[in-house]
Chain A
Amino acid sequence: MVGLKQDWEIAPQSRTCELKDYQGAAPRWCPGCGDHAVLGAVQRLMRDKQLLPEKTVCVSGIGCSSRFPHYMSTYGFHGLHGRAFPVACGIRARRPDLDIFMVTGDGDCCAIGTAHWIHAIRYNMNITVLLLDNNVYGLTKNQTSPTSRTGEKTNTHPRGSVLPPLNPLCVTLGIANASFVAQTVDWNPPHLYNTIKAAHEHKGLSFVRVLQRCPHFTKHVFQAPLQDLSQVLLMTHEEGISLDAAGMRRFPKQIAHNPHDLDEARHIAAREDVYPIGLFYRDENAARYDLATAQGIGKTQDEKLAAIDQALSRFAV
């Protein structure tokens, strides 16, 4: 509290929130969908940090991923396809006191919403963004996504897609003022949790791509890295995503990577032989647009009236 001395710091009214206090409607995702794991991780994080449900907003676009807010007990904004970023930025602009999570999917973010994605990275407002990438449009029943692998057969490309996929990590790492870029997988709970936790703690736009299983349409896509961990490259560093010793031992391929090294981050992100997971890049000093937008909050009514009158007087004859 502002200005009160230590001896006045009383224990806040003890209100402990339990896991169920963060749970909204029962999730209607398919059994085996990776989204369940992400939902669980976010709810556990909120419980562990005792974030208040009424002070948290989950923003999403349209897609399976974007059903997320309905399954939380917080405030939510389930908006338009591809347009979660501007709404999340708008909420953050004048509400520095809220916690904002944004959940999007590979179509929502990397196809229709690309313009907003690029500029939101640049704005670097304090939002935790989770891109749930299952390499397909699931909700609308199996269309190719920008991140689908070449040759994947979908309803819009029954003979297999023709183009190489977009790499959202390379795109994000190429945008000026990016401040936190990470990747994780839905089937490794400790890594998933620690990544989301680090993302939440970072002050700026934290972009986390979660490789997410879709048991219905793209079951085969992430089968390999799930079973054969040598297809995953674990990035390690004391300033990266932490994992305990036991967790780390499971990964035969590891690389020490300093998240402040942008060039190396780009190299690793571009690798096609492995799925790198961990923190690619971090910059605590990137410019924050929400610090500028929040200027002026708290002007009193009297101050405003005086200013308006003065502004009008400049036009007086």
Chain B
Amino acid sequence: MSSQASNSVATWRQLLRNFHLSGQGIDAAVPERALCPTTLAEHPKLPELEAHFPLCLQPDGKITALRDLVQTLAHASIVTSAFHIAMGNQTCAALDDVAPAAIASLPELNPADVSSLKKMLPEGSMLIAFHAAAVPLLHAATIIAERTPYRAKFREEVVHAIARLRELLALDQSHAPDSVTAESIDASLGSGIRGFFDSSILAGAFRRPANPLKRMEPARRERCQATLRVLEEGLNDFSTHPAFWLFCSAGTPPGIEELGGAARQSADSFTSAIALCESALAGLGQILRALRVARLEMESAYDPAIHDEMLQRFDWQTAESDELRALPAIIVIESAADVARASLTSFGRVLRSGSPIQILVATTGLSQSNLDEFQPDIAYLAISHRESFVLSSSLAEPSHLLTGLARMAKTLRPAVAVVSVPSEEIEASDPWLETVLLVHTRTVPLYSYDPDAGSKWSERFELAVGLQPACELTPVHAAAVCAGLRHHFRIVPAEAWHSEQLELPKYLEAYQDRPPRAIPFLWIRKDASGHERAAFTRTLANFCIDRQRAWALFRELTEAGKPQPEPAVSPEAARQEGANDAFQRVLALLNQ
């Protein structure tokens, strides 16, 4: 090595050390675009986009991947691609609209195939693409499918109670001595019979016999009439309910109205949701109270001495869960950033309220902010409230997501789903790969916390552990494929390679309590063949370690079955208005 060369190596070493610690410098070596780590290239099988998307949402609420629907066709993948392309940039589209264009673009299909294809496509379905706005649609569809039978049953009960009350009042009316008139007789005899009788004589005769039946006490009659009115009004209102209510502070996602939802924009969506929930529940409570009175009256078992007071104390919280499910779902959707920035307090209030509100929080990709600033782990926060349902999932893993959403739809507690969705940044080169890798590198752990599943942590918490390809993928890999984070990397030319540089696996092994004294790098693909080293920042390395420890923590908790997560936040603190306090503690734990 010439001294110039060794000088060069020394310079590089210095520059790299600077870069590693500060993230600045060697701007020339910044990768031009997202990197392709060699492990990834060699890695056998990450899931493909078109194996899972577009999703087909059928009118009955069933959601299947389009590829699965057409899998018996010889050209299943080509067909799926055609539909994917025909959808263009839309988040969602009606299948019937997209199908003609898609089929037209497949000249190689013969008519027999076309007709079998048409048979496989369920009528009236909606196609949903891999897009951030897909999550509210999937969630809404799931919850509608879950709640519709309860709504129908409840409605039927109310209709029935109304009919019976009307009958009761009509019977009572018939006990009155003057209820029999010539007109009532004419009406009841059948058409054309009027000519045979003088109904007033009949009426006179029918009024004569001793009347053994009393009329209801006026108090009871009033009660029945009032209850009937409440039920009828309630039924009217009920019919005007949308399939669900949606609150958001940003714009309404597409497809919401097609599903029957009513969207409301508001600066503080959580508070608005709580307000609507309270009023809807109050309204439901009224109908439920009236329903109970009706049931008692139908058995003639209403006793004012006993029941008046009990019914006064009645409210929606003593209702049966089946009845509560008759109410349309109340959904709030926000991005993680918005929640963190603006509404953490109201978010906490929703979780404490115990009201049946469903919250969807979208986290998009990895960006600089994830690494630099503190980002509260919303899902973890929600778990710390202990009595809310929490789902952490990803749009790149539809089976986990849909299963989780189905369970979320069943609960009447406050429920939070934090879903990793593709970012919409223009720089993002391959949103699918980015999102998939976040899952497979466990940067975004997939889990669910269901308080209804039991009283023990092991019953409530479920971690999806099975998503790991054979080789090691780390959060660094996830960052590597993000074009937006490429400034955390510098390509190290072959001449500057040095033993001070440690490749990632070894670096991670060496990292015990403190970072080792080495420059971590990642092997990346260079052009058609060959590979390069890409060094990266300490920030990124810390991030990687932090995520891996968080995962290990979850893993331990699942296996050990401890009754509580490490109480980062004591219950009292969490309930205080100063939520920021709690967040700092969480940060401290994660960054140790």
Contact = CB atoms under 8 A, between A and B. Distances in A.
Chains A, B in direct contact (C-beta < 8 Å) = yes
Interface of A: 1-5, 7-8, 10, 12-13, 298, 300-302
B301 A5 contact: no
Contact of B301 (A7, A12, A298): A12
A300 B296 contact: no
Of the four ranges (under 10, 10 to 19, 20 to 34, 35 or more), the interface on chain B belongs to: 10 to 19
B549 to A, nearest CB: 47
15 contacts: A1-B295, A1-B296, A1-B301, A2-B295, A3-B292, A4-B296, A7-B318, A10-B307, A10-B310, A13-B303, A300-B160, A300-B163, A300-B167, A301-B163, A301-B167
B318 A5 contact: yes
A10 B310 CA distance: 10
B299 A8 contact: no
Given A3-B295, A3-B320, A8 B301 contact: no
A301 B291 CA distance: 20
Interface in B99-130: none
Contacts of A12: 301
A300 B157 CA distance: 12
Contact of B292 (A4, A13, A301): A4
A226 B291 CA distance: 59
B306 interface: yes
A12 B303 CA distance: 9
Contacts of B167: 300-301
Interface in B153-184: 157, 159-160, 163-164, 167
Given A1-B299, A300-B159, 9 more contacts: A3-B291, A3-B295, A3-B320, A5-B320, A7-B318, A10-B306, A10-B307, A301-B163, A302-B163
Nearest to A303: B163
A225 B518 CA distance: 108
A300 B292 CA distance: 19
Given A1-B301, A13-B303, A8 B163 contact: no
A167 B463 CA distance: 72
A226 to B, nearest CB: 47
Contacts of B164: 300
A191 B159 CA distance: 49
Contact of B295 (A4, A298, A300): A4
Contacts of A8: 292, 310
Contacts of A7: 318
Q: Please list the 6 inter-chain residue pairs (A to B) with the smallest Cβ-Cβ separation, ordered nearest first.
A: A300-B163, A10-B306, A2-B295, A1-B295, A1-B299, A3-B295
A249 B295 CA distance: 51
Nearest to A298: B160
A307 to B, nearest CB: 14
Contacts of A1: 295-296, 299, 301
Nearest to A13: B303
Contacts of B291: 3
Contacts of A4: 292, 295-296
Contacts of A2: 295
Contacts of B307: 10
A10 B301 CA distance: 10
B432 to A, nearest CB: 49
Contacts of A300: 159-160, 163-164, 167
Contacts of B163: 300-302
Nearest to B303: A13
Nearest to B160: A300
Nearest to A300: B163
